[in-house]
Amino acid sequence: MNFSKIYSEIARIDNGTLEQQSDRREVIRKMATRLAATAVPLALSASWNQAAARTTTGVSVTDSLNYLLKLEYFKYNFFLTATSTGGLIPAADQAGFTNIVAHNLAHINALTSAVTTLGGTAFLPNHYNANPYCPAAYDFTANGAYPMFYSMNYVMFTEFAQLFQDLCSRAYIDTIPNLVGDKTNLTLAIQILTVESRHAAHIRLVRRLSVQAADNPKPWVTMTNSVYSSPPNEFRDYYVGEDNYWQQNFDLTTFPGVTGTISQTAATEAFDEPMIQTTVLSLLAPFMLP
């Protein structure tokens, strides 16, 4: 994907500036005829004004890439554990998750190369032994609380697949502004984000169509709606902030819609929200081993 061209097209669409935030669907609609063969990120939420401000926080490019690398190792090990657990994933769904594993491994290799090219030391999971698959570094059951693998609970697996994928996509959105001053690695991170967004949509459709999940998820995040759980709202923290309907200091619910004004639900569905690193890592901590 040529993201320099994408940026150029976004700039032309938005009157020569990346500081204007656009509705995700409108960006895709306007760019479709110009970039028909190019994947456009579904997650375009964090405003470019905010992104510019974030470059002054002093977060290094190397640290940012290593954070994303940590998340890729987590997801790679989670999905590889699932695809390697015979009888967990139905045959009809296996190929999709196998592709996710392959993509995550490619992301690990790309981010590792990016960090070492900068002269940094690439992140490695605990108990790493020359193999990106290091199950000793993770406990995806959270000390037995979620026995999705050894109980062959495919419904539970797809719930956590959605939670982890949505969460990591939010992490990318939050981290990408730290890379604005490095065109090469900014491009890399956005390319990976486009893939992560497709993974998230795929998993949600698997839950909707194959699993027929009780929460009947759409391919995108709606308000702070989480996966169905008992007790209710057990995983709501993964979606804190997704009910934001203010963008660029505008209340989107005051704008005209198809009938009346835009609903709060539609306003939140049009944008994906970032989540800060400390919150992301605190949510993943129960699944990581020392």
In a domain, 265, yes or no: yes
Closest to 110 in 3D by CA, of 41, 3, 188, 180: 188
Give a yes or no: residue 15 inside a domain: no
Two tokens, residue 277? 């690193």
Within a domain: 127 = yes
CA pseudo-torsion sign 131, 168, 204, 190: negative
Convert 147-172 into a string of H (helix), E (strand) and C (coil).
CCCCCCCHHHHHHHHHHHHHHHHHHH
Range of the domain at 180: 41-287
Domain membership flag for residue 31: no
Q: And the tokens for 267?
A: 């306003």
Q: What is the pLDDT of residues 83-123, one digit of tens each?
A: 999 999 999 999 999 999 999 999 999 999 999 999 999 99
Sign of CA dihedral 159, 138, 96, 34: positive
51: nearest Cα among 162, 205, 189, 178: 178
Q: SS3 of 288, please?
A: strand
Is there a domain that residue 11 lies in? no
Q: Is the pLDDT of residue 3 over 50?
A: no
Q: Is residue 136 within 8 Å of 127, Cβ to Cβ?
A: yes
Q: Which two tokens stand for residue 125?
A: 């999971």
- pLDDT tens-digit map of 240-264: 999 998 988 899 999 998 889 999 8
What count of other Cβ atoms lies within 10 Å of the Cβ of residue 195?
19
- Residue labelled with tokens 């406990």: 139
Average pLDDT over residues 205-215: 91
pLDDT at 145 > cutoff 90? yes
- Find the CATH number of the domain harbouring 155: 1.20.1260.10
Q: What is the mean pLDDT of the chain?
A: 83
- State the total domains in the chain: 1
Confidence (pLDDT) at 231: 65
Residue 173, judged by CB atoms within 10 A of its CB (0-12, 13-18, 19+), counts as buried
Helix (H, G, I), strand (E, B) or coil at 250: strand
For tokens 């139905």, what's the residue?
A: 90
Are 238 and 163 spatial neighbours (Cβ–Cβ below 8 Å)? yes
pLDDT at 272: 87
